[in-house]
Amino acid sequence: MYFVRLPLQCLLLCLLLPLLLRGQVQITDVGPPGFSAGDARFTSLKIAPDGTPFLAYQDVANGYRATVQRFDGTAWQVVGTPGFSTAEASYTSLAIAPDGTPYIAYRDQSTINRITVQRFNGSTWEPVGQAGFSVQAVEYTSLAFAPDGTPYVIYRGDSRDATRAVVQRFNGTSWELVGPDGISPGQVKQTSIVIAADGTPYVAYQSLQDGANGIVQRFNGTSWETLGTIPHVDFPSLALASDGTPYLTYINTANGDKVNVQRYTNGTWELIGDGISRSNARFTTIIIGPDGNPYVVYQDGFYANRSTIQRYRQGQWEDVIAPGSSRDQMDFISLATVGGMDPSLYIGFRDWSQQTKASVQRVYLNNAAPVTLNSFKAQLQPDQQVLVTWGTSQELNASHFEVERRSEHTTFEAIATVRAAGTTTEAHSYRFVDEKPLTGTSYYRLRQVDFNGKNEIFRAASINRQDGAWSALAYPNPNSGRSISMQVANPAQTKITLLTTNGLELAYDVSVTDEHTCTLNPKQVLAPGFYLVRVQEKDGPIQHHKLVVR
């Protein structure tokens, strides 16, 4: 038997590096992005008990019929046949039975738009009970399983006026009403259902009775109890914590369509997130993560309808990854989580960067990220080229970096690849010069790829370049409100004014960092909100830059 004596530094590196990098968050595609045959609508994502992701959607390329796919660890595979429903299927909702069997509910055009539920028997999809078992045409279907394996479904479409919320469950032979035919006080939209660990069904919906309000109800075994009414609600989404606490996220139509989150405790709704988005949002979705914290994902209007992921931890909301960092606009957002050694959040969605095809991404919530990034800057040079620089303090299994760029109206695309250091705890600096930058406002971001193909996207930096002229830049943006760096042609010959949106001039101290950079330090830390930076260089035009403080 032979032993190899390793230097003490190598032993310490092997022991400490996983601990040093623990807690970072990374995001990666699950299989190839845009894996559906064409446009995918009403995407619905679930994880089977064995950890297999399934995605259901309305498959436009297959006659708007229903298609379900599952990920086999390498690629997405169609479950059964593509477009297996008899006719068009909309409002597709997927659920996985405790035994791992996938079920799907949808509005079935072949039954005059009534609701149909099907399950996969191992070779084909078959109806669960009668196809089109609702009395009227339906919308907003949502399917869920009780712990005992009983499927429940909610939809809009009762027998009186086809606009109230109805809940049914399958008794093994047929579908039966849970409570009355129409549990809501009037017309509803955007229904959803979740089942508590004790088997209690909870539902949420937007009630159009006396305005757009959010209503949450639970079934006590005999009747539906209303857990209060929340005003000014759109896109409601409901989740239950392991202790049974209901959480509701929604768009607050009275506050610029920003995202609110409330939880129900001690018989009342408690607001724990008041306008947590930076601007208007849509497709809000909430789920309780494997760490017990609520996670919210939404289409973020502030970032051109790209996605933002936030979680509520230790009494405050935080970004899980850089906000608005998805490739492009996403909608029909659906969430699922897994625990274990790699606790993760899965996101299924219609991906506008892939011609509105289906994509699924995985956010590793407690996995070591390949790289710890210390800095990332994009700077316009006097020759109108753009210098992109970044630095790392440690790297793990890092293969390379991809520099990506987009304009105001395009999606990110890679323009350069830079080799990474591999595995190291030493600081490294990198640079890339964009010799042919875009005219106008453009954005640069960094994608790090490790040797296993996993990747992480870092926050973007912006540049405003006009042909033949130097354009000033304020960064970082968004900003903490304590220090603002300004990139200008000549700091000594530049007048910089910091303003509120009401035109109030704010005082600051200034220091010159280098020949093209100066730092503004406001006399008082800026409160969260929007500000303007007015820049006038000698004999140059006045430039205005929006600064976001959060």
Using CA atoms, how far apart are residues 4 and 206, in angstroms rounded to an integer? 67
Does the pLDDT of residue 146 top 70, yes or no? yes
At residue 23 the predicted structure's pLDDT band, cuts being 50, 70 and 90, is: very low
pLDDT in tens, 269-323: 999 999 999 999 999 999 999 989 999 999 999 999 999 999 998 889 989 888 8
Asked whether 93 and 143 are in contact (CB, 8 A), the reply is yes
Q: Higher-confidence residue: 370 or 73?
A: 73
N- to C-terminal Cα separation, the chain:
60
Q: Higher-confidence residue: 297 or 498?
A: 297
pLDDT in tens, 37-75: 999 999 999 999 989 999 999 999 999 999 999 998 888
Residue 490 neighbours by CB under 8 Å, 6+ apart? 515, 516, 537, 538
Q: What's the burial of 248, exposed, middle or buried (CB within 10 Å: 0-12/13-18/19+)?
A: buried
Using CA atoms, how far apart are residues 284 and 282, in angstroms rounded to an integer? 6
How many C-beta neighbours within 10 Å does residue 434 have?
21
At residue 19 the predicted structure's pLDDT band, cuts being 50, 70 and 90, is: very low
Alpha helices in 7-69 (DSSP H): 8-21
Output the six-digit token pair for 399.
């293969």
Residue 226 neighbours by CB under 8 Å, 6+ apart? 215, 216, 217
Closest CA to 93 of 39, 16, 155, 23: 155
Using CA atoms, how far apart are residues 248 and 240, in angstroms rounded to an integer? 9
At residue 168 the predicted structure's pLDDT band, cuts being 50, 70 and 90, is: very high
Asked whether 216 and 186 are in contact (CB, 8 A), the reply is no
Stretch among 63-72, 80-89, 392-401 having the lowest mean pLDDT? 392-401
| Total residue count of the chain as it appears in this document | 550
Reduced to 3 states (helix: H, G, I; strand: E, B; else coil), residue 523 is coil
Stretch among 79-88, 253-262, 382-391 having the lowest mean pLDDT? 382-391
Closest CA to 192 of 243, 228, 140, 241: 140
